[in-house]
Amino acid sequence: QEYTAIKMEIVQWSDAVQKVDIDSKLGGRKVFLVAATLRPETMYGQTNCFVGPDLKYGVFAANDKEAYVCTTRAARNMAFQGTFDVQGQVNQLFELLGSAIVGTKIKAPFALNPEVYVLPMESVLASKGTGVVTSVPSDSPDDFATLTDLKKKPEYYKIDPLWCAIDPVPVISTPTYGEMTAPALVKQLKIQSAKDAKQLAEAKELAYKEGFYNGTMLIGEFKGESVQDAKPKVRESMIKAGVAFPYAEPEGLVISRSG
Ligand code: ZZB
């Protein structure tokens, strides 16, 4: 899988992290949450970012100036993809539990809302991407369903309602679902919550297909172009701007032995 890794710079850590002395460990490095996405063209509509509250994250030195927050598994992959200054070497500065990162304010590159908050998402997999998911509720049914749950019960999820206050932003128009593909699909498939995993998987598949084959950009540098054309262009534009880098995953590697 070829993802685009989005660098979301930390603006202000959560209260939980602020209580810990991390400065001595960071050595003056800027810290970024790194989110893996297959939809770089939707980055204009980021409204927040998700981490798995029970997952472990590392803060890894990329070089003398920057450190990245992601799973150890992702850092190991990055180490072999030229992301860090020393090839093949992972340098973990410290560790954080996802729940401690929740409430951190970060930059969302290329987004209409330039600063967003980190929120919890139970369905984040440690085995995929970086374990950090940037959220686009206009085009991702999982993100829209999770945000709807969080807004209904902020106390239960131990979040400040302010952290999930940004409304979905129209990014892509499709003939079937209009300007809000994910909310339309969540309604159509009668998805009640983020726990409706089966319907959400179906909604995701439909959203991917309709967006890719029939979507038109409503915003950004490539407004008016098809999603198919805009996708690689937005990716290149983000990489050029220094806010993203390619991230690949050795997926489904099968070693076959004859005989
Ligand atoms: C932003 C975005 C905008 C995404 C969208 C999707 C959509 P896939 O197809 O199953 O490989 N993701 C990334 N890492 C994880 C993880 N560890 N656990 C759970 N979800 C993760 O899924 C790739 C997409 O799943 C990624 O692209 C990311 O969300 C999320 F409008 O990034 B995406 C219709 C989907 N739309």
Beta carbon of 180 within 6 Å of any ligand 1 atom: no
ipTM value of the model? 0.98
φ/ψ of 29, rounded to 5, equals: -75, 145
Closest C-alpha to 130, from 57, 234, 26: 57
User: How does pLDDT run across 90-110, given as a tens digit for each residue?
Assistant: 999 999 999 999 999 999 999
Among protein residues, the one with the nearest Cα to ligand 1's atom 27 is: 37
User: How does pLDDT run across 185-228, given as a tens digit for each residue?
Assistant: 999 999 999 999 999 999 999 999 999 999 999 999 999 999 99
Beta carbon of 36 within 6 Å of any ligand 1 atom: yes
Beta carbon of 25 within 6 Å of any ligand 1 atom: no
Assign a CATH topology to domain 2-248: Isoleucyl-tRNA Synthetase; domain 2 (3.90.740)
Which ligand 1 atom minimizes the distance to the CA of 128? Answer: 17
- Residue ranges per domain, the chain? 2-248
Listed as ranges, residues in the chain with pLDDT below 70 are 251-259
Ligand 1 pocket test: pick from 33, 38, 73 the residue with the most ligand atoms within 8 Å of its Cβ. 38
H helix intervals, the chain: 15-18, 23-26, 72-79, 98-101, 141-152, 181-188, 197-214, 227-240
